[in-house]
Structure 1
Amino acid sequence: MPAPITDYPTKYWHRVDETRVQCDLCPRECKIKEGQQGLCFVRACHDGKIVLTTYGRSSGFCIDPIEKKPLNHYLPGTPVLSFGTAGCNLSCRFCQNWDMSKSREMDTLADAAMPADIAARASRLGCRSVAFTYNDPVIFMEYAVDTAIACHELGIKAVAVTAGYISPEPRVEFYKHMDAANVDLKSFSEKFYHKLTGAHLQPVLDTLVYLKEQTRVWFELTNLLIPGENDSDEELNQMTRWVVENLGPDVPMHFSAFHPDWKMLDHPPTPPETLTRAREIALSNGVHYAYTGNVHDASGGSTYCTGCGKLLIERDWYELGEWHLTADGHCEYCGTACPGVFEETPGSWGAKRVPVRMGDW
């Protein structure tokens, strides 16, 4: 298996002055000197250029249910080979994958695999897709794009799990190679983004509008609700109305439960009733498909027809139950189309989580 490339060349950067170069990948626009790293940790200045230091290196691989990304309307029931690297371009105080996304240790990247190896392994394992997740694939864009290309050659889909914090020019290239995405809309408040993520809201909204208007990528949204921070009725109303007005009513929304982690151990877990309330607000504002996550809520995790209201896809955690979609994705009862990417029959992967070592061929 080829060795990782620790100084992989990138193209989204420019020289600022004699001693600094600026990374143009994301809105942070880090200006760094020779030998320094950007805030994301994985993009650095070497020989006067921005390079990616984690190409071909992963924090680990695992086969997950696609519903765990979460994607409820994309190849339901199928297995997805998931992996990430290290670092992140946001500084979320509540990060629930902080051991990887906040890592500044290369020892975190214990599993080496080049794009062709990942695609071949996914094919051998029967995975319908490969997901770039655990930390944001935007920061390892070149590795993710090359892996997506290799996957497409074998008929395997590419899935991005991301915060959507990317600049306009690389955004076009990145999503050109993605088939599906779950975008984390962390809040509908600039104050929240600035205070708790070190980022800004508008670039994320711009990414969402771009996905809707300029691509064919299937995408869904996740909103992690943190008690006292982004769970007010006012904010939920503003956010869900914006989604319907700008993205349309058929973009699924997942309201997910927070648990104390990283630098927000002083906040309590999200009560299940908060998620139910958020789901009800979304539905009342015209969102057709709203789900609860990180809690056991079979009703809140299942899909219902917008035409007749009957159960279409039953979910209990990540296990599928009743299935009432036709082969072309319509309600068996009334014929209303259910938006998404569906196969003639659902997958049967279930809730299994299977770690994979790339070296174990």
Structure 2
Amino acid sequence: MREAMYWEPLEGNRVRCRLCPLNCIIDEGRRGSCRVRKNIGGKLYTLNYGKVSSIAADPVEKKPLFHFYPGSCAFSIGTVGCNMHCLHCQNWEISQADETFPYLEEATPEAIVRLAKHYECESLAYTYNEPTVWYEFVLETSKLAKGEGLKNILVTNGYINEEPFRELAPYIDAMNIDIKAFRDEFYRKISKVPSLEPSKRTAVIAKKEFGIHVELTYLIIPTLNDSEEEIRAFARWVVEELGGDTPVHFSRFFPYYRL
């Protein structure tokens, strides 16, 4: 546990988290929507710093990134928590868990970088759950990895505020951003956040301003986000805002979690 970045104190020992667009206002002793940021004594703390739930040396194509060092190895790590609560989450065992998850292992940024180099991986991927809610650890690890000649990959829902993303972005080489649907209604009902706009903004900033390699994933869920009109609107946005060279992965839905 350590003090979190991007928060501000409020009256009555409450705090406002400024890491993601939910901007949670958290009473003393309570947690934000992500479950892993807690108000303790009027200060916001991150509870999952250095806590690893999942670790693997993966083909980079599994991220999925098909046009970023194809055939290479991505040393993949994840923790617990997420700022979305998608009813169809494929990693819900960790994304909807907190620091009491029984299989967490302690790790330092230095140890993660050493392991990535030991397994001859060209990149480090922050994945499996949402890396935004692991912000402090991802930032420190990505800085260290960059200095050691490794590439950094974010596999993310893109739901992060602009200021913290801009601090992290110089150390990120590639991103796969999950666009859940192309209607706010889906985000509200299925992912439990107000809007898809922050994810769109993150994608544009990443590619257009920082030159990060961006690929998108769109999981097609029959009857919920698969209308021709919605898919065409999504494709049009990709071409107009990100460019026609932006790879898009259309993924097949499998019933999972609560859907």
TM-score range, shorter chain: over 0.9
Q: 1:74 aligns with which of 65, 68, 71?
A: 68
Q: Distance in 2 between matches of 1:109 and 1:55?
A: 15
| Counterpart position of 2:204 | 209
| Counterpart position of 1:244 | 239
- Superposed, which structure 2 residues align to 1:252-331 within 5 Å? 252-264=247-259
Are residues 1:228 and 2:223 paired?
A: yes
Q: Distance in 2 between matches of 1:17 and 1:152?
A: 40
1:22 Cα offset (Å): 0.5
| Counterpart position of 1:84 | 78
- Superposed, which structure 2 residues align to 1:75-114 within 5 Å? 75-104=69-98, 106-114=100-108
Q: Distance in 1 between matches of 2:102 and 2:199?
A: 28
Moved more, 157-166 or 147-156: 147-156
Q: Larger % of helix: which?
A: 2
Whether the aligned pair in 1 keeps the contact of 2:48 and 2:99 (CA below 8 Å) is: no
1:9 Cα offset (Å): 1.9
Q: Distance in 2 between matches of 1:257 and 1:192?
A: 17
| Counterpart position of 1:137 | 131
Whether the aligned pair in 1 keeps the contact of 2:39 and 2:45 (CA below 8 Å) is: yes
Unmatched tracts of structure 1, length 5 or more: 1-5, 265-361
Are residues 1:47 and 2:47 paired?
A: no
Are residues 1:172 and 2:186 paired?
A: no
Secondary structure class of the residue paired with 1:39: coil
Whether the aligned pair in 2 keeps the contact of 1:14 and 1:24 (CA below 8 Å) is: yes
Are residues 1:197 and 2:191 paired?
A: yes
Report the structure number with the largest CA radius of gyration: 1
Read off the aligned partner of 1:60 and give its amino acid letter: S
Q: Distance in 2 between matches of 1:70 and 1:108?
A: 28
Read off the aligned partner of 1:100 and give its amino acid letter: I
Whether the aligned pair in 2 keeps the contact of 1:32 and 1:38 (CA below 8 Å) is: yes
| CA displacement 1:17-38 (0-9 Å, x = unmatched) | 1231000000111111222111
Read off the aligned partner of 1:152 and give its amino acid letter: K
Whether the aligned pair in 2 keeps the contact of 1:86 and 1:109 (CA below 8 Å) is: no
Read off the aligned partner of 2:182 and give its amino acid letter: F
Identity level (%): 41
Whether the aligned pair in 2 keeps the contact of 1:187 and 1:223 (CA below 8 Å) is: yes
Whether the aligned pair in 2 keeps the contact of 1:86 and 1:108 (CA below 8 Å) is: no
Q: CA RMSD in A?
A: 1.1
Q: 2:12 aligns with which of 18, 27, 34?
A: 18
Read off the aligned partner of 1:32 and give its amino acid letter: I
Q: 1:36 aligns with which of 22, 30, 38?
A: 30
1:221 Cα offset (Å): 0.2
| Counterpart position of 1:146 | 140
| CA displacement 1:99-158 (0-9 Å, x = unmatched) | 110113523452211001100111011010111001010011110011111111221111
Read off the aligned partner of 2:213 and give its amino acid letter: W
Q: Distance in 2 between matches of 1:65 and 1:54?
A: 26
1:258 Cα offset (Å): 1.0
Secondary structure class of the residue paired with 2:35: coil
CA gap of 1:40–1:246, structure 2 versus 1, over 3 A, is same
Whether the aligned pair in 1 keeps the contact of 2:215 and 2:247 (CA below 8 Å) is: yes
| CA displacement 1:42-84 (0-9 Å, x = unmatched) | 1111231111111111102111100000000101011111111
| CA displacement 1:265-320 (0-9 Å, x = unmatched) | xxxxxxxxxxxxxxxxxxxxxxxxxxxxxxxxxxxxxxxxxxxxxxxxxxxxxxxx
Q: Distance in 1 between matches of 2:103 and 2:150?
A: 24
Whether the aligned pair in 2 keeps the contact of 1:148 and 1:177 (CA below 8 Å) is: yes
TM-score, scaled to structure 1: 0.70
Question: How many residues align structurally?
Answer: 258
Q: Distance in 1 between matches of 2:31 and 2:108?
A: 23
Secondary structure class of the residue paired with 1:14: strand
Whether the aligned pair in 2 keeps the contact of 1:85 and 1:109 (CA below 8 Å) is: no
Q: Distance in 2 between matches of 1:166 and 1:176?
A: 15
TM-score, scaled to structure 2: 0.97
Q: Distance in 1 between matches of 2:38 and 2:221?
A: 33
Q: Distance in 2 between matches of 1:168 and 1:136?
A: 16
